[in-house]
Structure 1
Amino acid sequence: MATQAPEPTGTPQPPHARSTANKHRLTRRGLFTLGGGVAAAGVVGGGIAALVCGGADAAQPGAVLGTATARPRALTHPGLLHNAGDLHRAKVRVAAREDPWLKGWTRLLDNRHSASGWRPRPQAVVVRGGTGQNYGILYNDIHAAYQNALRWRIGGTEANGATAVAVLNAWSATLTSVDGNADRFLAAGIYGYQFANAAELVRDRPDFELARFKKMLRTVFLPMNTDFLTHHNTANITNYWANWDLCNVASLMATGILCDDRATFGRAVTYMKSGAGNGSFRHAIPFVYGGQNLAQWQESGRDQGHTTMGVGLMGAICEMAWNQGVDLYGYLDNRFMRAAEYVAKYNLGAAVPFTAYAWRSGQGTGRAMEQPVISDIARGTVRPVWEILHNHYARRRRLTTPFITLMAEKVRAEGGGGDYGPNSGGYDQLGFGTLLYSK
């Protein structure tokens, strides 16, 4: 039976019904929890702006529940998608020519974006949506910076490190704004979090203009992330699909970590737990199927390409939080794991349950919409999003994830941007999970 959050059993509520119930607990690693009762109350009293922009009701990062004198825990570096252990393990295993790391490394070397001869083409204004679009230049350069940074961190080649820094420095010296129609918020989210991840890999290099790069994230990307999560482009709160919220939360979180801004990081965590938009856990995963270890993804009635994209974005958010000592993977009794199992099972060709999904489209009260059946559009789509989930749930936590594991095996070894098509969808994930996450 499908159930609306947070009840484990019972009759589904309408998917657009919004619950503000929120539980907070210490993470498995016992480090700290972001956002206690005051932050939860802020959802009701202060709205989304309180969560995203701070204020008296905003989450206070670093406070352990029930401990008034707790000291904030410093953010860890490297600590976005990859921690020091991930990078060291990949370096050692590749040097020993062991699979599957070697196969993942080969995919990186074979990608044209990882070549040290890459030359950036920074733009003052990036446009996504409408006329004058040029955002393809940005995402190609970001993936070149990220892939060159990986080659430097794992292979030790100075030329790749210098190229990664040159790309990032060129953009931080040039970019002033992201523009376009509503899709500009997708650009601010996806490319903001990817930019930060590339920068994290080279943050300690003396030739990297870290302070200037942080300023670019804070002045160009962060205000747009905050604006979207606060106002949702003035649309009805159910109008935008989960991936719009998720990419902006990912950028908010990644920026907070890179910039050692615990408050911004905390707002991202709090939004995932109690945000009003479709990217928070209860809204991105509206129905749980008791006894089946499955949960329905919000975009499942739309198409499988965007559904898989959303799973990848939530996985990135959970991994970045995990590397800072916050367990979002296990939030609400492993709700995300159940949703990933659902998406993997359906895209492997098996049947899954589906509960009609209703929402309102447009401005104000909007127009009532419904998806009565699951979509088979782009069913079987392949994106590099599964290794990170397999290696957390099945390897780190030793949980049973048959469909996530089968999907990870199907796409192994994962590539990255440029390996999954020439359009923007092929660059929505940074990839190379086999190389970085295999245990």
Structure 2
Amino acid sequence: MPQHPDDRTPRHRLSRRGLLKLTGGLAVAGAAGGTAAITIGGSADAAPAAFTHPGLLHAYGELNRAKVRVAAGTDPWLAGWNRLTANSHSQSTWTPRPVATVVRGGTGENYGSLYNDIHAAYQNALRWKIAGTAAHGDCAVAILNAWSSTLTTVTGNADRFLAAGLYGWQFANAAELMRDHSGFDLGRFRTMMKEVFHPLNEQFLTGHNDACITNYWANWDLCNVASVMAIGILCDDSALYDRAVDYFKNGAGNGAIRKAVPFLHPDGLAQWQESGRDQGHTMMGMGQMGAICEMAWNQGDDLYGYDDNRFMKAAQYVAKYNLGQSVPFTTYSWGSGQNCAYNEHTAISASARGQSRPVWDLLHYHYARRRGLAVPYITAMAEQGRPEGGGGDYGTNSGGFDQLGFGTLLYAR
């Protein structure tokens, strides 16, 4: 597929990290415009050269394309931009409300202040990156700096692990966009991510809150894997990044790809682990796994296509059912609690069927445009939700903030 001049991200790319993998640690630094130097081996000093920045949900090509197309007034980018600028969270007048202790689940819940501020930081960061408006850059920095100077603890009942996962990867994405802003205290922010968020991510992925390994739904694993990956990239920590990739491929819990997608069906469809639960959480899973795949893609690793496009087949399945069509279903059983009590789903759930979530344009533009694959159900879901909004556009409860959104603006090709 020919590239537009404003699309600087090649269809098949090799990141600096990928180059290091192929050369066994011998790489030429300066690929992003820095001073050229040769580094040999796996020394700590060489670690930053292994990662591409910006390199979480948005690489240079996506950001530059959005900038060029919005300036030219071209749809669907302009429509996506208008959705962003109309959102109350994207205004440069946003005032952060940091707290020392965030609680999700149980007595004293206050986590709404965290997810609202994260989405405000992210949306203002996008406005700064795409339009260059200083006020929005300053606002994003003020939010990030306020939290990194205040937050010490994320706690609550088991839901604390959801908070650490969801808000860990989202916070890291906002920070990644601002890492080159002179007013941003990146060092202090990275310390917060490693000391407050990452320990909970690792605690969950290792121990699963002392429950049966199948007790927690795929999204619990996925948001924590996404957080470990995002923190690894933000902090130039290869061990964390590799831990996340390995868990995606081989993890013990339901977030590992073959457990999140347990059954393959005919016609290129595959059943999602939460499909018998409800469709809201199932579509949430499309967003969580999509974020993992996109972040890895921007570092030169193709998880989108891993295991013969297993995730794509699941997304097709979820999209087809949520478009109102029928799909096959294999009985899904699992153990719950600490004693692995038997449970099963014998039919797909219609609860929240057709719910709107801004997760589909990311998948459509990857599979249909980057890869040139036919994904008619994903494409149809994307078309009916376009232009995608973000946090604040899909209700005020936490479910509306499970994904960062704005896929039309950022991924259209």
Task: Tell me, yes or no, whether TM beats 0.5.
Answer: yes
Where do 1:165-244 residues align within 5 Å? Answer: 165-244=141-220
Residue number in structure 2 paired with 1:16: none
User: Is the counterpart of residue 380 in structure 1 residue 354 in structure 2?
Assistant: yes
Residue number in structure 2 paired with 1:333: 308
Residue number in structure 2 paired with 1:77: 53
Checking the alignment, whether the CA contact within 8 Å between 2:76 and 2:408 is kept in structure 1 is yes
1:155 deviates by: 1.0
What letter corresponds to residue 236 of structure 1 in structure 2?
C
Residue number in structure 2 paired with 1:158: 134
Checking the alignment, whether the CA contact within 8 Å between 1:176 and 1:220 is kept in structure 2 is yes
TM-score, normalising length from structure 2? 0.90
Q: Distance in 2 between matches of 1:137 and 1:394?
A: 37
- The counterpart of 2:84, out of the listed 105, 108, 115, is 108
Q: Distance in 2 between matches of 1:347 and 1:70?
A: 48
Structure 2 gaps of 5+ residues are: 1-10, 28-41, 43-48
Q: 1:293-337 CA distances to partner (integer Å, 9 max, x unpaired)?
A: 100000000000000001110000000000000000000000000
Checking the alignment, whether the CA contact within 8 Å between 2:16 and 2:52 is kept in structure 1 is no
What letter corresponds to residue 360 of structure 1 in structure 2?
G
User: Is the counterpart of residue 312 in structure 1 residue 287 in structure 2?
Assistant: yes
Q: 1:379-436 CA distances to partner (integer Å, 9 max, x unpaired)?
A: 0011000000000000000000000000000000000001001100000000000000
User: Is the counterpart of residue 414 in structure 1 residue 388 in structure 2?
Assistant: yes
Where do 1:28-177 residues align within 5 Å? Answer: 29=13, 62-64=20-22, 74-177=50-153
User: Is the counterpart of residue 350 in structure 1 residue 294 in structure 2?
Assistant: no
1:30 deviates by: 5.7
Residue number in structure 2 paired with 1:288: 264
1:366 deviates by: 1.6
Residue number in structure 1 paired with 2:46: none
What letter corresponds to residue 60 of structure 2 in structure 1?
A
Checking the alignment, whether the CA contact within 8 Å between 1:32 and 1:326 is kept in structure 2 is no
Structure 1 gaps of 5+ residues are: 1-26, 35-60
Q: Distance in 1 between matches of 2:25 and 2:15?
A: 15
Checking the alignment, whether the CA contact within 8 Å between 2:17 and 2:50 is kept in structure 1 is no
What letter corresponds to residue 389 of structure 1 in structure 2?
L
Checking the alignment, whether the CA contact within 8 Å between 1:33 and 1:326 is kept in structure 2 is no
Checking the alignment, whether the CA contact within 8 Å between 1:146 and 1:164 is kept in structure 2 is yes
Q: 1:32-79 CA distances to partner (integer Å, 9 max, x unpaired)?
A: 999xxxxxxxxxxxxxxxxxxxxxxxxxx9544xx7666666100000
Checking the alignment, whether the CA contact within 8 Å between 2:229 and 2:292 is kept in structure 1 is yes
Checking the alignment, whether the CA contact within 8 Å between 2:15 and 2:51 is kept in structure 1 is no
Q: Distance in 1 between matches of 2:65 and 2:320?
A: 30
Q: Could you say which structure has the greater relative contact order, defined with CA pairs below 8 angstroms and 6 or more residues apart?
A: 1
Checking the alignment, whether the CA contact within 8 Å between 1:417 and 1:427 is kept in structure 2 is yes
Residue number in structure 1 paired with 2:277: 302
SS at match of 1:204: coil
Q: Distance in 1 between matches of 2:340 and 2:265?
A: 29
Percent identity over the alignment is 68
Checking the alignment, whether the CA contact within 8 Å between 2:172 and 2:231 is kept in structure 1 is yes
Q: 1:347-398 CA distances to partner (integer Å, 9 max, x unpaired)?
A: 00000000000000000x3200000100000000110000000000000000
Q: 1:108-132 CA distances to partner (integer Å, 9 max, x unpaired)?
A: 0100000000000100000000010
Q: Distance in 2 between matches of 1:329 and 1:111?
A: 30
Q: Distance in 2 between matches of 1:243 and 1:254?
A: 16
1:262 deviates by: 1.1
CA distance change for structure 1 residues 62 and 185 in 2, over 3 Å: closer, same or farther? Answer: farther
SS at match of 2:264: strand
Checking the alignment, whether the CA contact within 8 Å between 1:28 and 1:327 is kept in structure 2 is no
1:279 deviates by: 0.3
Q: Distance in 1 between matches of 2:24 and 2:396?
A: 52
* Matched positions, count: 383
User: Is the counterpart of residue 254 in structure 1 residue 238 in structure 2?
Assistant: no
Aligned alpha-carbon RMSD (Å): 1.6
Q: Distance in 2 between matches of 1:159 and 1:30?
A: 35
Q: Distance in 1 between matches of 2:24 and 2:366?
A: 32
CA distance change for structure 1 residues 183 and 417 in 2, over 3 Å: closer, same or farther? Answer: same
Residue number in structure 1 paired with 2:7: none
Checking the alignment, whether the CA contact within 8 Å between 2:16 and 2:51 is kept in structure 1 is no
Residue number in structure 2 paired with 1:4: none
1:275 deviates by: 0.3
Q: Distance in 2 between matches of 1:322 and 1:68?
A: 20
Checking the alignment, whether the CA contact within 8 Å between 1:80 and 1:323 is kept in structure 2 is yes
Q: Distance in 2 between matches of 1:421 and 1:326?
A: 34
Q: Distance in 2 between matches of 1:215 and 1:280?
A: 28
Q: Distance in 2 between matches of 1:157 and 1:33?
A: 32
SS at match of 1:398: coil
